[in-house]
Amino acid sequence: MQLNAPLDMHLHLRDGEMLENIAKCSAETFSGAIIMPNLVPPVSTKEEVLAYKARIMKAIGEETFEPYMTLFFKPSYDKDFLSSVRDEITALKLYPAGITTNSEGGVSGFDVEELRPTLEAMSELNIPLCVHGETNGFVMDREAEFASIYKRLATAFPKLKIIMEHITTKSSVDLLDKFENLYATITIHHLLITLDDVAGGMLKPHLFCKPIAKRPADRDALLKVALSAHPKVMFGSDSAPHPKHAKESCGCAAGVFTAPIALQLLTELFENQNAPIENLQAFVSGNAQKIYGITPPVKTIVLEKRPFHVPSDYNGVVPMYADEKIAYSIKK
């Protein structure tokens, strides 16, 4: 089985030693990825975009891989600034302030008029807006509560492509067919697990993420649109590496590291659910190319049904299903 130009439309590569240690885990098997900008400090200028991309390219070596860069959203960006950086970025990423890792400089409140100058400029320049859609309410309700903000933004800026990142709820799935300009990414871990897998027995820190995994009915809704290759959804791993000591601690960092095994798990999932390979190809590449208007580098990944023993760690980062066997391997 082969996949052509697989894309990861939501990826954390971090920086420094972590970037050097894990970047190839994605570059070896994906043709490209949307790179998250929530570094410390966040990527918010043209110079920072160019410098970060250069560090990524150095870290991946000779691999064929296109990092699609993003800016950390700020309401102060004007059309002149966005025009000057347009050719270097693929999207802007909006974080509600303090809602997830390194998001302290995000948006506080969602006053449409305060955001209008930047979002209208993005609309005119055809720059998509990627959104981490959670409020600061009760943890299981945060994404559903954010639906009203998505509705407000989609209505106020009908020409703006809005990507609901790593959706986890049926309520988010339902929005896809209600607003023409709303799209979504879905992770492999949210297609496989529910909150019960994380905390139903002994706590599994390496499955803890934000947005937190939800109920079986929510997972079923995600599966329905992913397996059918709904044209408005695409794969985004939200693969989020943290050092082992940061995950296995009383202040467990949020994030699931799936980059090295994402394609294998997706292939197994689609096969187990009797979904056609064409749908998997659309979910991991075709839909994203149409939504973002990108042409990724040519790359073919061959998957074979041969058990793969997931390593206990990748340079100190523990992956999902560490030390377990999964059904598919990538042919080297």
Give the position of tokens 């560090």: 55
Q: Distance between CA atoms of 220 and 277, rounded to whole angstroms?
A: 20
Q: Distance between CA atoms of 249 and 99, rounded to whole angstroms?
A: 20
- Cis geometry, peptide bond prior to residue 41 (ω within 30 degrees of 0): yes
Q: Distance between CA atoms of 288 and 236, rounded to whole angstroms?
A: 10
Contact residues for 118 (Cβ-Cβ < 8 A; gap 6+): 73, 74, 75, 76, 77, 78, 82
- Burial class of 15 by CB neighbour count within 10 A (0 to 12, 13 to 18, 19+): middle
DSSP string computed for 37-72:
---SS---SHHHHHHHHHHHHHHHTT---EEE-EEE
Q: Distance between CA atoms of 63 and 131, rounded to whole angstroms?
A: 29
Contact residues for 17 (Cβ-Cβ < 8 A; gap 6+): none
Q: Helix crossing, 46-60 with 16-27: angle to 10°?
A: 60
Residue 27: count other Cβ atoms within 10 Å of its Cβ.
25
**Which member of 197, 238, 313, 323 is catalytic?**
238
- Extract the tokens encoding 212: 């937190």
* Cα 316 → chain centroid: 22
Burial 258-277 (b: 16+ CB within 10 A, else e): bbbbbbbbbbbbbbeeebee
User: Is 197 in the active site?
Assistant: no
* Cα 122 → chain centroid: 20
Paired sense of beta strands 70-72 and 32-35, if any: unpaired
Which residues are the active-site residues? 238
